[in-house]
Structure 1
Amino acid sequence: MVSFNKSTLRVVVCGDEYVGKSSLIFSFVKDRFVSQLQEVLPIITIPRDFSASPYSPEKTILVDTTLNDIDFLQSELKIADVICLVYSNHDSYERISMFWMAMFRTLGLNLPVIICRNKCDLLNKEDNELIEIEEFIPLLKDFKEVGTCIKCSALEKFNVTQLFYRCQRAVTQPLAPLFDSKTGKLKPLAITALKRIFILSDKDQDGFLNNEEISLLQRKCFGKSIDSNELNAIYKNLSKMAPDESAFVRGKGLTKNGFSLLNQLYVETGRHETTWGILRAFHYTDTLEIEERTLYPTIDYPPTSSIELSPIGYRFLVDVFRKFDKDNDGGLNNIELTQIFKTCPMGLPKLWINTGFPNSTVVNNLGYVTLQGWLAQWSMTAFLDHKTTTAYLVYFGFESDTRLALTLTKPRRLKKRYGKYYRAAVNDRKVFNCFVIGNAKSGKTALLDALLGRPTTEVYSPTIKSRIAVNSLELRGGKQYYLILQEFGESQPAVLENPSKWEECDVVCLTYDSSDPDSFAYLVEAVEKYKHLMKLPMVFVALKADLDKQQQRCHIQPDELTESLFLNHPLHISTFWQNSVNKLFDRLIKCALEPLRATPGFEPELKVKDEESREKLMVAGSILGIASAFSLILYKLLKKS
């Protein structure tokens, strides 16, 4: 089945000889009847303006055919988008079943067929009225390919425009995906899509579409408002269909069931283009799925760049949070979260499920996700999996190109000093990814909990699956960043052995239990074995500093190792001491911003020089900016005088 956004639609007009195929085409194109025409008209292309539908193709091609050239007929049928099959009397009607439909199936065609009964001007009133019962209904029952039947007269130009409009509509607004003719009801996929549209259109989340919300939906889908008379007619019809107020409640509006019933009414009365207009406005294809290019737009970016949410993206996600936080308590409870993700076919993102949401982000004392936690979670999602982010933005009702909700950072640059490479400082990034590595029981999980402001438990529970924690942090000066901490559980050895995985890492947090004499040896072995770690900024952390410090059973002590790598001594941290935890998170962010300060193998003098050079550049930039502003003011004053 052709997609609605195809630019050209091809209609092949066929039927027995002398049924009026050429006359119908000529009458439609020229808006007049000519009794004597050539046997077969040339192929005619019609521009878009013959239809008022905004979803019609740019061009419609009409192909006239004859049985005298069967090869041409069959070749055109094979490339058609829709077939217009014309008959005009009893004999040509009988041949629809005996010859034409059999030929279509022999050719393996799976196309919509529009049946046209031409020359209705020759029939008396009684015969004209019997056509639908005696001729149309049997065809509709016997052949699933037949989408609709219509009576026409090329001589009187009766229903000619409507005929070709229906041919086009059979492709651009197909009935089959919407309606089950056997049950007489909308199909489940159509109902699911309409329920999603209802939830997105219910701006105040009260379970009803009021007049204002219906008008907004009408304007979005059809570019025009709906007047009060139309609304009253809709409400009247729905009240008749469902007098128990399951469809419409006076003073409140349409219910979800009422919205589905309204669209079923459109389909049953031949106005399914209205339903398709609603579905198309929400990017649904003929298969009632949201189109791939909308969910996953192409984003070309260097592998060393990262993807973050833009201010537009953050603003939209704030609006989503506030829309569904119905009790205005600043947290999304389970019911509110479920309601948010009702518009998403897969429910929660797979990434969230795999990383333990909502334990991955900030919640309040009732366990409800706060706005801070909601934004942090999506910051992490955009950074780690931008395709999931764009898809869910669409599911949530983001109306513009989802690429506007994202921003690309500059590619990561490498600098070289004394034959060694290190990552250059960054100034356009707000999200940083930190891998937490350490021996079992070193306190990694407690560190992740501390990032989320959760209390430390003294009961040890081994981490089996990978886990993520993400939160926003504010450094001195008021700048806000998002820090992602990842621990890998049983997959930690595999992660350590995979150099490509570490391209995703901005800073490494190497943890050991300062009260366990056997804990630090794990880090020494890792640093000596996996040389790719030495290219990354790293911070050594002595956890459980509230307990008695122990001499490590290792050939090198923590302070000695860090000195040999030209790094700061391990930070002594206890998750019971909030100030020490805050100091660690600040250092991780600063090391991600300025990797040289924590990259192994570079002498302190070099790091100092690099920092002094950067400060000098910043001072010089400030002076230059002030001088430029002063020069501009002076120029304006001189010009004025």
Structure 2
Amino acid sequence: MATVRICVCGDEGCGKSSLITSLVKDTFISNRIQAVLPQITIPPTLGTPENVTTTIVDTSALPQDRANLARELRRSNVILLVYSDPYSYERVALFWLPYFRSLGVNLPVILCANKSDLVSSSTSAQIMEEEMLPVMSEFKEIDSCIRTSAREHHNVNEAFFLCQKAVTHPIAPLFDAKESTLKPAAVAALLRIFYLSDKDKDGLLNDKEMQDFQLKCFDKNLSPEDLQHIKHTIEHHLHGAASDRGITSQGFLLLNKLYAEKGRHETIWVMLRTFQYTDSLSLQESFLHPKFDVPEFASAELSPAGYRFLVDLFLTSDRDNDGGLRDEELASLFAPTPGIPQLWVDNNFPSCTVRNDAGHVTLQGWLAQWSMTTFTSPKTTLEYLAYLGFESPDRSTTAALKLTKPRKRRRTRPARVSRNVLLAHVLGAPQSGKSALLDAFLARPFSNLYLPTIQPRVAVNTVELPGGRQCYLILKEQGESEAAVLDNKSKLLDQCDVIVYAYDSSDPDSFAYIPNIRKMYPYLEDIPAVYVALKADLDRTTQRAEFQPDEYTASIQRMPQGPPISTSVTWPSIQDLFAVISEAGLDPATAYPRPLDDDDGGELMRYGLVLAAVVCAGAAAVVIWRRSTLSTG
């Protein structure tokens, strides 16, 4: 529950204490009251807005009480500055407002012209124009102005309500009174609200979308008459901004500008807070970055609700229905966000995912990209789901994600992994064909031009497994940072599902790289592995290595894969390789290149004993034969 602390200031005799008494007693007390009233706290049950408790502090303007006044000002949330005659009015600009500034208090000020019962009603408008507007234009801290009368109980409640509203619904972040324009941060927030409310992404809020918006923000229906009135008002001020088809974004901004000009900025704040904005017009931190911890060896994936949201977002953003997102469509889609995620930029999006012939991201590529983002950085996915307007019953974006069971790193009988997104690191000597493998994964045409990979590169796509199941596979090539990545054992072990060791079967010096790095980094034995002999369309050559590839893989105990998979990125069968890689990640027992476990060692010992017995029996037979030969000779 919020608390608003109001400091009532002004010259002696301007009616500060009478205003407070009139508010509390609901009547004017004519007899003399004490000079300074004690602090008063008004609970929210007396009609204060938004469940706010209000504390009102009376102050003295006497020089000897200046220290206490400064202390109360620094403790308060808003200032009610009262004047009642020409002298006290002059003091507003000459003393009071400069004094507030000298203290360094940055509080909204409500300017109150009290004792309005002494002025004829015909001159009220003139006083507003001649007195209040000039000082408001000079001092931006003045939030609003009001004329009151404690004697007649005129606008007393309204004055304190303005104080509450200045704290709970501040105008300063929204509107520049001098320029009569919405401030840039407010424009950005309202445009995001417009984009999110424009469900069909046609650039207009139609009647249905306006009704949904009204219910979401204000929990009540918008009558057809009220809707028509809103449209007529917008069209009157800005031609073409409202029609039977709907309200444009500029019309929506104009409507909120009119609210601010008429002092109805609480209406704007209801919209902003419904869409999770703070008083500083930033999205709430708990909304952008909710708590979502991924345990060690587990991973984050999109839930069915998350995939449905992203599918719907793609379909509504694909305005020309060509099955791909053009640059303009992507820009429109990411309009409510800070832009394309930096993680995507670092991965050279959109070249890291599936595109059509025109180079536009397909739905398959769109979902693959978000699956990879969720796997590598779930916090990024949650942040962008918040920006893009994902909604769930509990208003949390975490409903769009789910956790997988932790993968177990063990040498004996590793269990099958239950996950839909897998990461495979592709390791191998330079020019072994790693980049071409990533291109083939994304169905890119083969090029004979060799371009060394400097920066890390990723490719993500769906893979169809035996039985028709699909999963998302991320292939990652490290480029020149490969050694640094391998040095970071914990990071590689935590996220990597399978290692793809690739070599050029036509280059005699290509394979030796693989045994060398496996000796250098023994922990690689704890990660499932697939060995691939690339460029099989070229003449195969003998490798200059201690062991030939077939011998090397055979020497690794319990390697069910057998010899390296011989393939070429120019062959259609290359797609089968990606299914093998995915299966190795999902079922580690089929691809663990590791030393013998205890059971295997015991079994081999038994075989060794049998073999030793056979050898000993043979040797004994030879000795007996030689002795018999010598005796007969």
TM-score (norm 1): 0.87
Aligned pair in 2 of structure 1 residues 470, 49: CA closer, same or farther (>3 Å)?
farther
Query: Which of these residues, 440, 444, 447, is aligned with residue 430 of structure 2?
Result: 440
Superposed, which structure 2 residues align to 1:135-284 within 5 Å?
A: 135-243=131-239, 245=240, 247-248=241-242, 250-284=243-277
Change (3 A) 1:205 1:42: same
State which of 276, 279, 304 in structure 2 corresponds to 1:311. 304
Structure 2 counterpart of 1:64, one-letter code: D
8 Å Cα contact 2:410/2:526 also seen in 1: no
**C-alpha contact 1:451 1:471 (8 A) present in aligned 2:** yes
The one-letter amino acid of 2:222's match is I
Give the 3-state SS of the residue equivalent to 2:334 in structure 1.
helix
Query: Aligned with 1:517: secondary structure?
Result: coil
Quote the residue 1:561 is aligned against: 552
1:436-467 deviation per Cα after TM superposition (whole angstroms, max 9, x unaligned) = 11111111112212222333223322222211
Q: Report if the CA contact (8 A) 1:115-1:148 is conserved.
A: yes
Cα gap change, 1:58 to 1:300, in 2 (>3 Å): farther
Q: Which residue of 2 aligns with 1:295?
A: 288
Query: Which of 582, 586, 596 is 1:589 aligned to?
Result: 582
Question: Secondary structure at 1:297's aligned position in 2?
Answer: coil
Kept after mapping to 2: 8 A contact 1:51/1:165: no
The answer as to whether partners of 2:234 and 2:254 remain within 8 angstroms in 1 is yes
Taking a change above 3 Å as real, the CA distance of residues 326 and 413 of structure 1, as seen in their structure-2 partners, is same
Q: Which moved more, 1:531-540 or 1:27-36?
A: 27-36
1:27 aligned onto 2:2: no
Query: Following the alignment from structure 1 to structure 2, what is the Cα–Cα distance between the partners of residues 323 and 608?
Result: 60
Provide the secondary structure at the position in 2 that maps to 1:157: coil
Correspondence for 1:476 among 446, 449, 466: 466
| Change beyond 3 A, Cα 1:468–1:82 | same
Deviation at 1:433, TM superposition (A): 1.0
Residues in 2 aligned to 1:256 and 1:98: alpha-carbon distance in whole angstroms: 43
Percent of aligned pairs sharing the same letter: 50
Q: 362, 374, 386: which is aligned to 1:394?
A: 386
Cα distance in structure 1, aligned partners of 2:66 and 2:244? 63
Q: How does 1:217-616 map to 2 (within 5 A)?
A: 217-243=213-239, 245=240, 247-248=241-242, 250-345=243-338, 347-399=339-391, 400-415=395-410, 417=412, 424-502=414-492, 503-566=494-557, 567=559, 568=561, 569-579=563-573, 581-603=574-596
Pairwise CA distance, 1:13: 1.6
1:10-60: CA deviations, max 9, x gaps? 22122223322233233334433333444433333334455685xx46423
Separation in 1, partners of 2:524, 2:34: 81
Please name the residue that 2:624 is paired with.
none
Q: Secondary structure, in 3 states, of the residue corresponding to 1:27?
A: helix
Letter of the 2:345 partner, please give it: I
* Distance of 1:545 and 1:280 partners within structure 2: 61
Q: What is the DSSP-based 3-state SS (H/G/I as helix, E as strand, rest coil) of the residue aligned with 1:115?
A: strand
Q: 1:38 to 1:497 in 2, by over 3 A?
A: same
Render the CA deviation track for 1:80-100: whole Å, top value 9, x for unaligned.
Answer: 111111122223222223332
Distance 1:375 1:149, change over 3 A: same
CA distance in 2, matches of 1:151, 1:437: 77
- Structure 2 counterpart of 1:11: 6
Counterpart CA distance in 2 for 1:58 and 1:443 is 67
Distance 1:29 1:350, change over 3 A: same
Count of aligned residue pairs for this structure pair: 592
Task: Specify whether residues 83 and 607 from structure 1 end up closer, same or farther in structure 2 by C-alpha distance, changes over 3 A only.
Answer: farther
Q: Corresponding residue for 1:79?
A: 75
Q: For residues 50 and 521 of structure 1, do their structure 2 counterparts lie closer, same or farther at Cα, with a shift above 3 Å needed?
A: farther
Cα distance in 1 for residues equivalent to 2:525 and 2:410: 15
Q: Is the 8 A contact 1:9 1:57 kept in 2?
A: no
Gaps of 5+ in 1: 1-5, 610-641
Supply the distance in 2 between the matched residues of 1:33 and 1:386 (Cα, whole angstroms): 61
What's the CA shift for 1:486?
0.6
Aligned with 1:578: secondary structure?
coil
- How far apart are 1:401 and its partner, in Å? 0.7
- Per the TM alignment, residue 605 of structure 1 is displaced from its structure 2 partner at its CA by 9.9
- Out of 18-27 and 137-146, give the one that drifted further: 18-27
Q: What is the CA-CA distance between 1:134 and the residue it aligns to?
A: 2.5
Report 1:37-48 matches (<5 A).
37-48=33-44
Work out whether residues 596 and 607 of structure 1, in 8 Å CA contact, stay in contact via their aligned partners in 2.
no
| Greater Cα offset, 374-383 or 269-278 | 269-278
Aligned counterpart for 1:122 among listed residues 103, 118, 125: 118
* CA spacing shift, 1:241–1:467, aligned 2, 3 Å: same
Aligned to 1:65: 59
Pairwise CA distance, 1:520: 0.6
Instruction: Indicate the residue corresponding to 1:619 in structure 2.
Output: none
TM-score by length of 2: 0.88
Q: Which residue of 1 aligns with 2:610?
A: none
Aligned twin of 1:617: none
Query: Partner letter of residue 594 of structure 2?
Result: G
CA distance in 1, matches of 2:278, 2:364: 36
Distance 1:564 1:40, change over 3 A: farther
Give the direction of change, closer, same or farther, for the CA distance of 1:443–1:232 in structure 2 (3 Å limit). same
Conservation of the 8 A alpha-carbon contact between 1:509 and 1:539: yes
CA distance in 1, matches of 2:217, 2:457: 42
Note the aligned Cα RMSD (angstroms): 2.4
Cα offset, 1:469, TM superposition: 0.8
Change (3 A) 1:590 1:545: same
Unaligned stretches of 5+ in structure 2?
Answer: 603-633
Aligned equivalents of 2:349 and 2:171: distance in 1? 41
8 Å Cα contact 2:411/2:597 also seen in 1: no
Cα distance in 1 between the residues matched to 2:329 and 2:601: 51
Q: 1:176-233: CA deviations, max 9, x gaps?
A: 2222233222222322222222222222222221111111112222222211222222
Partner AA of 2:60 in structure 1: T
**Alpha-carbon spacing, 1:50–1:593, altered in 2? closer, same or farther (3 Å):** farther
Instruction: Pick the structure with greater CA Rg.
Output: 2
Shift of 1:426: 4.7
Kept in 2: contact 1:218–1:226 (CA 8 A): yes
